[in-house]
Structures are given as C-alpha cells and as structure tokens.
Amino acid sequence: MKDENSITVYDIADEAGVSVSTVSRVLNNSAPVKEKTRARVIKVMDKYNFQPNALARSLSKKRTKTIGFILPDITNPFFSEVYVKAERAALDLGYSIFLSNTMNDSEVESIYLKTLVEKQVDGIIFMGGRANETRTDAAFAEEMKVIMKKTPIVMINGEMEGVDCYRVKTDEADGFRKGLNYLLSLGHKEIALVGGIKGITSTDIKLDIFSQYVESAQIETKEEWIIESGYSIEGGYEALKQLLSLADLPTAIIAINDFIAIGVVKAAKEMGLQIPQEVSIIGFDNIYLTTIVLPAITTISHNYQELAAKAVNIIDGINNNQVYEKEHFFDSELIIRESSIGLMKME
C-alpha cells in the first residue's frame, strides 16, 4: 500500500473490496450503504488516517464551504465583534472564513472582491467602505453587480443604490431615538451631538433623527454643539475641547459612536470636567472598551450575534436553494451605565 499521505479513494476502495462509488457514498453520506460495508470502508480510512480532498469534493458539489468577509478595519472593536460572531456561526455550519481587511481603501476592496470570487467562495459578507456611503459611486455599484452575478453578497449595516444584494441591519434610527429619549427622561434638553462624517450612512441617519427632535422642540441645541469630528477617540477628544471653548455648555452629549464617547471622557478628565456630574454622555455600539473606561459609558448596543448569524445563514441558505427577503432589521438595546445621570442630580 502507498504512503498514507498519498492514499486515494481508489486505494480505499481496493482494500475494502468495494467500488469507488461506494466509498464516495460513505464519504458524502449521499446514498444508503449497508452498515457492514460502511463499517469496513471506515475501518480502512481510519487505518490510513484518510482525509479526503475537500476541494475535490466541493467542486463536485460546486461549493467550497468558504465565505469571504470584507471589512474596513479589524482593529475597530465594532467590526471585529461582528466578524468573530460570524466566524463562530460559520464554523458551526461547516464553513471557513477568509478575512479581508481593506484598511479603509476602496482599491483594496476591489482587489479583495476579485480575489474572493476567484477563490470561489460561497458568498461574501461586506461591511463598511463603499457600503456605508450615502451617495453610491456608480462605478462601485456596477462592480458589485458584476460580482453578484457569480457570488451572493450580504451587506451588514450598509447598502448601495442600485445594488439589490441581501442586507442585514441594526435599526440605528430607533437606537438613536432610544438614546435621546433616555436623556430626555433624565431631564436633559440641552444636548450636543458629536462625531461622524456627513455622507456616511450611519452618521446621516443619526443627524436626521437629531434634527427631528430639534424641529419638534423636544431638545434644544446650538449649531456649534453639533460637531463633525469623525469616528476616532482623538475625534471625541478634540470635540470636547471645542465645546469647552464655548461660553455655554450642553448638559448632555450624544456621540456618534463609542470611540467618540471615550475620547470625550478622556478629554474631560484632563480638563477637570466631571462626567456625569457636569455633563452626561451616551455612546453608540457597545464596544467592550465602554466597560473599561471610568466612568463606564452608557451606550446603544447592536445585536451582534443576530446580525452576524443572519448574514452567514443567508449565504448558507442561498447555497441550499432557500429563499430569503432582501432586507432584515434587528433591534438595538440601551445599555445604562455610569456616564449619564438625571439633570436634578447634576445641580
């Protein structure tokens, strides 16, 4: 007999005294095989520690049991949390995931899209980048549509105009309302909104909700209290410095994301501003760092598990000829911690 590293199904069939098709049926559990015969085949496979060629088997089924996952920044806890949950869900279904970290570069996105199609992945999960731009670039949209002819795409918390892919989303508008309503319930009406970049979907959604509350006179704000400062800790730090340079301060701050909120807390400590005694703050995303900083930050949480699992399940279902709706929304949750208190307690 050959060295065990070169054993083939033909060798297994020969030693077990069965046909190659019988070995194949045992491997794939694709048709009934007598129990005695099955046991004989398995005994020979165990003897040589036989591992069938996964790629060969997958090609016969036109599936590779792999999923591509494209995201903009794996060091960002929001994206890494979704990825880890998706990886767990994929493993439970027998899939492997190819992680593609684009470093916020659209050209790298295109490279990874092409590479994943060439690898014949069963589907692509896409986060951030071009999927988060409020105005869709026509060339990017066309590229995605070409990819979708070969490989299904599921976008998490994003969409592109004219690209009819599957979408799995947190209801960010409702989540932001929960944050504002909580501040109002604490007696806060003078509220600042800090962070974000206009033209990015998640920012525009939150700005729109904030504007609705201002127009309805539920909250009071000033133009200089709405500060577009990106998504980083540094952006939050600079935003609070900018607020502190003004004559009047709000009683509460709602941040576009948790990094911004953390930056606000960092700046407050350095500048002698007490949170929440002088200013309450709420973040968005519920990344693990919000429990580490002092005070721990009140925030809005995504349902990470459901978002990730649904994206994986859609790809698995499509490849098993199941039909899914194109868009799925999941509720968020208000997580109350130490960075926010009632207005009466602040006075």
Q: Give the torsion sign (CA, 176, 178, 183, 189).
A: positive
**Claim to verify: residue 131 and residue 167 sit in the same structural domain:** yes
At 287, phi and psi to the nearest 5?
-75, 160
Q: Are residues 210 and 339 in the same domain?
A: yes
Place of tokens 């194949």: 24
- What amino acid occupies position 300? I
Q: Which residue segment(s) compose the domain that 21 sits in?
A: 4-52
Instruction: Report the C-alpha gap between 253 and 224 in whole angstroms.
Output: 13
Residue 141 sits at φ, ψ, to 5 deg, of -60, -45
- Inside any domain, residue 217: yes
Instruction: Give the total residue count for the chain.
Output: 347
* pTM (two decimals): 0.81
| Angle 285-304-193 from CA coordinates, rounded to 5° | 15
- Do both 256 and 316 map to the same domain? no
Dihedral class, residue 283 (left if φ above 0, else alpha if ψ from -120 to 50, else beta): beta
Residue 180 within any structural domain of the chain? yes
Buried b (16+ CB within 10 A) or exposed e, 76-94: bbbbbbbbebbbebbeeee
pLDDT score at 59? 46
Q: Is residue 58 part of a domain?
A: no
Instruction: Tell me what pLDDT residue 51 has.
Output: 66
According to DSSP, residue 103 is labeled T
- Give Cα separations from 86 to 98, 126, 180 (angstroms): 11, 12, 30
> How confident is the model at residue 2, as a pLDDT?
55
Both 36 and 84 in a single domain?
A: no
Answer whether residue 264 is part of any domain: yes
State the Rg of the chain over Cα: 26
178 and 123 share one domain: no
Say how far apart CA 304 and CA 325 lie, in whole Å: 20
State the DSSP code for 296. Answer: P
161 and 149 in one domain? yes
Amino acid identity at 137: D
239 lies in some domain: yes
**Cα distances (Å, whole numbers) of residue 307 to 46, 84, 302:** 39, 12, 8
C-alpha–C-alpha distance, residues 156 and 332, integer Å: 14
Residues 246 and 107 in one domain: no
DSSP strand pairing (191-194 vs 153-156): unpaired
Structure letter (DSSP) for residue 297 = P
Task: Residue 191: name the closest of 227, 155, 162 by CA.
Answer: 227
Give yes or no: residues 190 and 269 share one domain: yes
Question: Number of folded domains in the chain?
Answer: 3
96 and 167 inside one domain:
yes
* Tens-digit pLDDT string for the chain (347 aa): 455 556 777 788 889 999 877 887 887 766 678 888 988 988 888 888 876 655 454 544 567 899 999 999 999 999 999 999 999 999 999 999 999 999 999 999 999 999 999 999 999 999 999 999 999 999 999 999 999 998 999 999 999 999 999 999 999 999 999 999 999 999 999 999 999 999 999 999 999 999 999 999 999 999 999 999 999 999 999 999 999 999 899 999 999 999 999 999 999 999 999 999 999 999 999 999 999 999 999 999 999 999 999 999 999 999 888 888 899 999 999 999 999 999 776 65
118 plus 83 within the same structural domain:
yes
| Structural domain contains residue 281 | yes
pLDDT of amino acid 27: 75
Q: What is the CATH number of the domain that holds 326?
A: 3.40.50.2300
- What is the C-alpha to C-alpha distance for residues 244 and 250, in angstroms, rounded to an integer? 10
Sheet holding 96-101, edge to edge: 96-101, 66-71, 124-127, 153-156, 166-170, 327-330
The reply to whether 101 and 203 lie within a common domain is no
Considering the domain architecture, whether residues 163 and 122 belong to the same structural domain is answered as yes
CATH of the domain at 46: 1.10.260.40
